[in-house]
A and B are shown apart, each in its own frame.
Chain A
Amino acid sequence: MRSVRRFVTRLVNSAARRAQDDRLREEIEEHLALQTAENLRAGLSPVEARRQAMLKFGGVEATKQDYRAERRLLVIENLVQDVRLGLRMLRKSPGFTAVVVVTLALAVGANAVVFGVMDALILRPLNVPEAESLWGTQYGVHTGFQSYPNYLDLRDRNHSFEDLAAFRFAFVGLDTGEDPSLASGYATTGNYFDVLKTQPHLGRFFHRSDERGPNSAPYVVLSHAFWHSRFQGDRGVVGRTVRLNKHPFTIIGVAPPGFRGTLLFVSADFFMPIVNQEQVDGENLLDARGNIEGGVFEALGHLRPGVTPAHAVADLDSVGAYLAKTYPREFSQKSAPLGRPGLTSFDGAARAFLTGLMLLAGLILLAACANLGSLFAARAADRSREVALRLALGSSRTRILQQLLTEAVLISLVGGTVGLLGSIVLLGQLSLWQPFPRAPIHLPVSPDAKTYVVALVLAVVSGLLFGIVPVRQVLRANPYEVVKAGSSARIGRRMTVRDALLVVQIAICAVLVTSSLVAVRGLLRSLHGNLGFEPRRAMLVKTDLVMAGYRTDQVLPTQKRMVAAMETIPGVERVGLVNLYPPLVYGAGFRANIFKDETADLRLSNSAAAPYRYDVSPGYFSAAGTAVLAGRTFSAHDDAHAPAVAVINRALAGKMFGSVAGAVGRRYRLQDGTRVQVVGVVEDGKYQKLTEDRPPAMFLSSLRSPSPESWLVVRSTRDRQELTAAIRGRLRELDAALPATIDTWSDLLEVVLFPSRVATVSLGVLGMMGAILSITGIFGMAAYSVSKRMRELGIRLALGAGRKELLQAALGRAVRLLALGSAAGLLLGVLASRVLAFIVYQATPRDPVVLAGVVVAMSLLGLLATWIPAQRALSIDPAILMRDE
C-alpha cells in the first residue's frame, strides 16, 4: 500500500514537473548554516567552519540527483525530456523533418495499401463457419468449371468431402411487380447452405430435399444487402412471389448479414436452386455431361476431419479416372489441385500479382529506409560536436543513445501515421470502386486493426533501423578528439556506409522506374496492337431473349429482325451478330475440341486442336472489321438446311492444314461428329485476353445454332449518344419489354485491359514513389556534401577555380553515386521485367525506348535533385565564408 502511494505521488510529480527543487536547496542551505554556526561555536574560523560543514554534508549535486530520483519516476522523466528535446530538434530543422516524414509516409502508405488489399483477398478467409477446412475443387478444366453430371459423380463417389455443393451464376431480370431490373445471383445445389453451415437471418434456406427434378424448387433466398436495398429490409418479404425471367419464384428466406456468396469479387443478390436453372437460362445446361464450361462454376465443401488436401486430390483423381473411362467422349481426365474458395481460378494470378506488388512495396520501404539511414547518419555527423560536448559534461552514452532513438521513433511515428491515414483514405476509395459498371464486381477491402498494426510496426521498426545507423558513430566518438577537430569533418575518399546506402536506394528506385516504364509501354502497345478486329466505332448491343420470355424457335427470326432494324439506322455501315460473347468482352471465351476429318474415334485424347468457337452471323466479319485472308465468309444460305461450313483463323489453318491457301475447301470434325468444311480464313486475333499469343479460333454460322443470348455489332461513324438513342428506339419498336445493354466495344475492352491497367497504374505509382525517394536521397546527399565543404569550396574559389571545377568538387561524388546506382537498377529492372510479361502484354525491357527513358528519367531526377545544392555551391562568396569561420 505504501509503495503504491509512493508510486502515485511520484507519477503525479513527474507529470506535473513542478520546480520543487527550491525546497531542497533551501533545506540544504539551512542545514549548512546550522552546521557552520555549530562549527563556529567550536572555535573554527568562519571559512573553515563553512568548509567542514560542506564536507560533512557530502556531495550536494549527488544529493540533489538522489532527491530528484526519489521524487519522480526517472524513466518517464527522461522519456518526456527526450521527446521534448526531439520535438525541438525536429522543429529546428523543418527541411530534414519534412523529407523524413514524406519518405516514411510514402513507404508506409504504399505497404499499408498493398497489405490491405492482400489481407482482403488472400489472407482473410470467406465469412463462413469453419472456413479453414473449406476447399473448392478445380477438377475439370483447371478453373473449377464442371458439367453438372460430373459434379454429381464427384459428389457421390468421393470419400474426402463431408458433402460437396456447387453453384453457377444466374443473371436475371427480377420483377417484384413494380419495376423489373437486372439482378445477379447464384444458382446453387440444394445442399449449398447446409454444406457451408450457415443459418438464415430470416425464413428458411432450401435443402437437398427440395430438389425433386428439373424446375421443382421455385424458391429464392435473398442476400442481406439485397434484401435491404431492394426490399427495404421488409420482414414480411418471406412468402412473397417474384418473377425471375418471367417465372414465378417464392422468397423463402434471407441470408445472414456477412454472407455474400462464396466468391470474394462477386457478391450475390440472391440464391436459387440450380435445378430450376432451365427457367432462368431458357435452356437446360445441366444434363449434358460434355457441357463443361456451361455447367457448374465451382464445387466446394468441407473436408472430412483428418483428410488432408493431398488425400482429397488423389481421391478426386480416382473418381476422374473412372469418369474418363466411362465417358471417353465427354470427359478427359486431368489431375487438379484443391483451391481456397473465394478467388477460384483467379487465385493464382491474384496471389502472384499481389505478392509481386508486396515485394515492390517492400522495395519502396527498403529504399526509404536506406534514404532515412543516410539522412540520419548525416545528421548524426553534424551533431557529433554536440554529442561530444554532452559526453564531456558527463552524460552517459546510454542517455545519448536513448535520446537519438527517441527522436528516430518519434519521427517515424509521425511519418507512419501520415502514411496510414493516407492509406485508409485510399483503401476506402478502393472498396467503393466498381471497376466495371455493368458487372457486380467489387474489391471487398476494409482496413482493419491488422492493417493499422502492420503499418505502425513497419514505421517503428524502420525508425529503429535507421536510428541504429548513427549509433556506431556515437559509440566510437572520442569527445576530446571531436571537440578539438572542430566542425570541419574530414571528407573521406573511401566508400562510407552512407554512400553504399545511397547507391542501394538509387538502384531500387531505378528498378521501380524501369518496371513502371516497361508496364506503361506494354499497355500502350496492347492498346494499339492488332486485335483481329477494330474496336473503335463499333457498338455492342447485348440482348437476352430468354429474359424477355421468347421461345427457342422464336430466337432466330427475332435476331434477323433485330439485325435488319439496325441496318435501317442512318449512318450505320454494317451490322453483325455473335452468340454468347464477342472476342475480348468480359474475358469470356469458349473453346471447343475439333478432330481431323479422318479421326473416327472422337474421344478427347484424340482431338487435334481446341480453338475458340464463335457463332457469328453473315455480316459479322465486316462489322467487326476482321480482315478475310482467303475464301469467303458466311452468307444467308449457311443455315440449318445447308452443309456445315466454318471460317477459321490463320493460326488454326496453319495448325490443321499447314497453310492459309491450303485450308479452304478442307474438312474437319466437331465434338459431336459434324463434318465442317472450311470456306474462308481470317486474320489472327485476341479472343480471351491480351497476353495470348496467336490462339487458334473457328467461326461457325449462327444461323445453324442460334442462341438467345447474343451481341449485335453495329459499325457506324455516328456520334455515340445519337447512335445509342437510335438503337434503343429501333429495339423498342421491335419489343418494348426486351432488356438490352448498349456499349462501345472499346469500353468493354476495359475489362480485358483491367489486369494490365491495374498493373500499370500500381507500377506507375510505385515508380513515381521511387522517383520521389531518389530525389530526396540525392538531394539530401548533395546538399549535405555542399554544406560540409563550404569552406573548402570557398578556398578553391579564392584560388581561382572555375564554376566547372567547383561543381565537380561539390557534386561529383553525388553524381557518380547516382550513375552507379542507376546502372545497377537498370540491370536489375531488366531482369525483373521478365516477371511483368505475365501480366502486361508485350512487356519487354529490351526496348530502346524503355532503356533511353530510364536513362533520361534518372538524369532528370539527378538534375532536379542537385539543382538547389549546385546553386548554393555557385553562390559561394569566399570573402564572407572565410570571415565566418
Chain B
Amino acid sequence: MKQRTAVPQGTLALMVLKTLDVLGTQHGYGIARRIEQISGDLLAVNQGTLYPVLLKLEQEGAIASDWGASENNRRARFYRLTREGRKQLEAETRDWEHTAAIIGRFFEAKAEDLP
C-alpha cells in the first residue's frame, strides 16, 4: 500500500491541506492539478493515490466534503478545510518550518564554523 505511494503520505496530506487553504473549496481533480503545477512531476503519475489521503483526512476531521457541480456541470465531490484542519495545518507548517530550518542549518554548516 505504502510502496505504491510516490510521495510520503504525510507530505501529500500536508500539500492537500495547504492547497485547500490557498484555493478554498476544491474537488479532487483540482487539488491534483494544483499539486502537480507546484510540485512538478511529483504527482504526474499515480494521481489516484490522492483519494485515500483525502479519505483519511476527512475521517480525521481535518477536511469536510459535499457534492457539488463541477466546471463541466457534472456531479463532483468538493473538499474544504475545517477549523480543525486549519489548526492542524498551522501546527504542521510550524513543525515543518522548524524541521526545515534545522536541516538547512546542518547543510550550511562548515567545519570551520564549529568552535
Chain A residues near B (Cβ < 8 Å): 2-3, 5-6, 9-10, 23-24, 26-28, 30-31, 33-35, 37, 55-60, 62-63, 65-67, 69-71
Q: Is B11 an interface residue (CB 8 A)?
A: no
Q: Give 1 or 0 for each of B21-61: 1 = CB within 8 Å of chain A CB.
A: 00000011100100000000000111111011001100111
A201 vs B71: C-alpha distance in the bound complex, in angstroms?
A: 86
B75 touches A63 (CB 8 A): no
Asked if B52 and A9 sit within 8 Å, CB to CB, the answer is no
Instruction: List the B side residues contacting A27 at CB < 8 Å.
Output: 28, 51, 76-77
Q: Measured between C-beta atoms, what is the minimum distance from A54 to chain B in Å?
A: 10
A5-B60, A62-B48 given. 15 additional CB < 8 A pairs?
A2-B60, A5-B59, A6-B60, A26-B77, A27-B76, A30-B74, A30-B75, A35-B47, A58-B46, A59-B4, A59-B48, A63-B48, A63-B49, A63-B51, A70-B56
Point out which of B44, B59, B62 has the most chain A C-beta atoms below 10 A from its C-beta: B59
CA distance A59 to B49 in the complex (A): 9
Which residues of chain A are within 8 angstroms of B77 by Cβ–Cβ distance? 23, 26-27, 30
Q: Does B99 make an interface contact (CB < 8 A)?
A: no
Question: What is the total number of residues of chain B having a CB less than 8 Å from a CB of chain A?
Answer: 28
| B114 contacts partner chain A, Cβ-Cβ < 8 Å | no
A19, B32: Cα distance in complex, Å: 26
**Across the interface, do B74 and A66 meet the contact criterion of CB distance under 8 Å?**
no
Determine whether the beta carbon of A26 is less than 8 Å from that of B29. no
Chain A residues with CB under 8 Å of B74's CB are: 30, 33
**A37 cross-chain contacts in B, Cβ below 8 A:** 72
List 30 contacting pairs A-B, 8 Å CB cutoff, sorted by A.
A5-B59, A5-B61, A6-B56, A26-B77, A27-B51, A27-B77, A28-B51, A30-B27, A30-B28, A30-B74, A31-B47, A33-B72, A34-B70, A35-B29, A37-B72, A56-B44, A57-B46, A58-B4, A58-B45, A58-B48, A58-B49, A62-B4, A62-B48, A65-B1, A66-B49, A67-B52, A67-B55, A70-B56, A70-B59, A71-B55
Residues of B with Cβ closer than 8 Å to A?
A: 1, 4, 27-29, 32, 44-49, 51-52, 55-56, 59-62, 70-72, 74-77, 88
Report, nearest first, the 8 A-B pairs whose CB atoms are least far apart. A63-B48, A58-B46, A34-B29, A58-B48, A66-B52, A70-B52, A2-B60, A9-B59
A24 to B76, CA, bound (A): 11
With A34-B29, A55-B45 as known contacts, state yes or no: A24 contacts B51, CB within 8 Å. Answer: yes
Q: Identify whether the interface residues of A are mostly helix, strand, loop, or mixed.
A: helix
Instruction: Give the distance in Å from the alpha carbon of A70 to the alpha carbon of B12 in the complex.
Output: 15
A70 to B9, alpha carbons, bound, how many Å? 12
Q: Which residue of B lies closest to A24 (CB)?
A: B51
A6–B48 contact, CB under 8 A?
no
Closest partner residue, chain B, to A71 (CB atom) = B55
The reply to whether A57 and B47 form a contact with Cβ atoms under 8 Å apart is yes
Which residues of the partner chain B approach A30 to less than 8 Å between Cβ atoms? 27-29, 70, 74-77
Complex Cα gap A652–B45 (Å): 106
**A38: nearest residue on chain B (CB-CB)?**
B33
Residue on A with the closest CB to B5? A66
- Report the bound CA distance from A204 to B70 in whole Å: 90
Cβ contacts under 8 Å, A57 to chain B:
46-48
A23–B29 CA distance with the chains assembled, in angstroms: 15
List, in ascending order, chain A residues with CB within 8 A of B75's CB: 26, 30
**A5: B residues at CB distance < 8 A:** 59-61
The interface residues of chain A lying within 8 Å CB-to-CB of B45 are 55-56, 58
How far is B51's CA from A69's CA once the two chains are assembled, in angstroms?
12
Q: How far is the CA of A19 from the CA of B60 in the complex (A)?
A: 21
- Measured CA separation A58–B52 after assembly (Å): 13
Residues in B with CB closer than 8 Å to A66 are 1, 4, 49, 51-52
A58/B29 contact (C-beta < 8 A), A23-B77, A27-B77, A30-B75 known: no
Report the Cα distance A10→B59, complex, angstroms: 8
The listed residue (A23, A58, A62, A69) touching B47 by CB distance below 8 A is A58
Taking CB atoms, residues of chain A closer than 8 Å to B70 are 30, 34
Q: How far is the CA of A59 from the CA of B47 in the complex (A)?
A: 9
Neighbouring A residues of B51 by C-beta, 8 Å: 24, 27-28, 63, 66-67
- The contact of B28 among A31, A59, A62, A71, by CB within 8 Å, is A31
Chain A contacts of B49 at CB under 8 A? 58, 63, 66
Q: How far is the CA of A63 from the CA of B62 in the complex (A)?
A: 21
**Which residues on the B side are within 8 Å of A33 (C-beta)?**
72, 74
Smallest distance from the beta carbon of B78 to chain A beta carbons, Å?
Answer: 11
With both chains docked as a complex, state the minimum distance between the C-beta of A75 and any C-beta of chain B, in angstroms. Answer: 14
Q: How far is the CB of A377 from chain B (nearest CB, A)?
A: 36
Q: Which residue of B lies closest to A32 (CB)?
A: B29
Known: A6-B56, A70-B56. A31 touches B32 (CB 8 A): yes
Which residues on the A side are within 8 Å of B60 (C-beta)? 2-3, 5-6
Question: In the docked arrangement, what's the CA distance between A67 and B27, Å?
Answer: 17
Bound-state Cα–Cα, A65 to B59, Å: 17
Closest Cβ of chain B: how far from A215's Cβ, in Å? 85
In whole angstroms, how far apart are the Cα atoms of A66 and B54 in the complex?
Answer: 12
B-side contacts of A55, CB under 8 Å: 45
Q: How far is the CB of B99 from chain A (nearest CB, A)?
A: 20
Chain B residue at minimum C-beta to C-beta distance from A74: B1
Instruction: Kindly provide the distance from the CB of A4 to the nearest chain B CB, expressed in whole angstroms.
Output: 10
Which B residues are CB-close (under 8 A) to A62? Answer: 4, 48
Asked whether A2 lies within 8 Å of B52 as measured between CB atoms, the reply is no
Residues of B within 8 A of A10 (CB): 59
> Distance (Å) between the CB of A125 and the closest chain B CB?
54
User: Taking each of A59, A67, A69, which has the highest tally of chain B beta carbons within 10 Å of its own beta carbon?
Assistant: A67
Chain A residues in 8 Å Cβ range of B47: 31, 35, 56-58
Q: Could you tell me the distance between the alpha carbons of A2 and B46 in the complex, rounded to whole angstroms?
A: 27
User: How far does the alpha carbon of A6 sit from the alpha carbon of B55 in the complex, in Å?
Assistant: 10
**Nearest CB of A to B28, in Å:** 5
Taking CB as reference atom, which chain A residue is nearest B27? A30
Contacts of A71 in B (CB 8 A): 55, 59
Q: How far is the CB of A398 from chain B (nearest CB, A)?
A: 16
Nearest CB to that of A35 among chain B residues?
B29
| Residues of A contacting B46 in the complex (Cβ-Cβ under 8 angstroms) | 57-58
Q: Of B48, B72, B88, which contacts A34 at CB under 8 A?
A: B72
